[in-house]
Amino acid sequence: MALEEYVGAVVLEVDAREVDVVEYSVTSRTGTKPVKTMNRNGRVKGFAKGIEEHELAVTVVIPKSGDLDWMAIAGAKLTDHPVSPGGQRVSYLDCYTTEVGEKYSADNEARRDIKLFASRRVVE
């Protein structure tokens, strides 16, 4: 049985500017909700389609100079693409910052935690 190759590291770009990322995660919600009705069976009757949501959590190292103004991100495009060839790029459009935090520890470099939301996701 041959070994399979998996997606490794990804590069994150914010408006075509590469960012040094330590950790990156995306939570997507379909917006679909159950429709509960009073019926004899006591079960959900169906569902209603809702609004799609994407929440991004990014941890970056804090550079001495040249850092992005994370609080001012509005309408940005975030793109992640695999470093290895053949992987698909995924872009999150119309991104807005909701939270920015900083953390420091004795073992690691200073880091910044950013939470953003995006209006849509596009596989390129």
Q: Does residue 5 sit within a domain?
A: no
- What is the total count of domains within the chain? 1
* 4: phi then psi, degrees, rounded to nearest 5: -100, 145
Asked if residue 76 is part of any domain, the answer here is yes
In a domain, 31, yes or no: yes
CATH number at residue 56: 2.40.30
How buried is residue 58: exposed, middle or buried, by Cβ count under 10 Å (0-12/13-18/19+)? Answer: buried
pLDDT average, residue stretch 55-75: 89
Residue-wise pLDDT tens digits, 2-49: 777 666 677 788 888 888 888 889 999 999 999 988 888 888 889 999
* Structural domain that includes position 104: 10-123
- Reported as a single tens digit per residue, the pLDDT across 48-57 is 999 999 999 9
Residue 3 lies in a domain: no
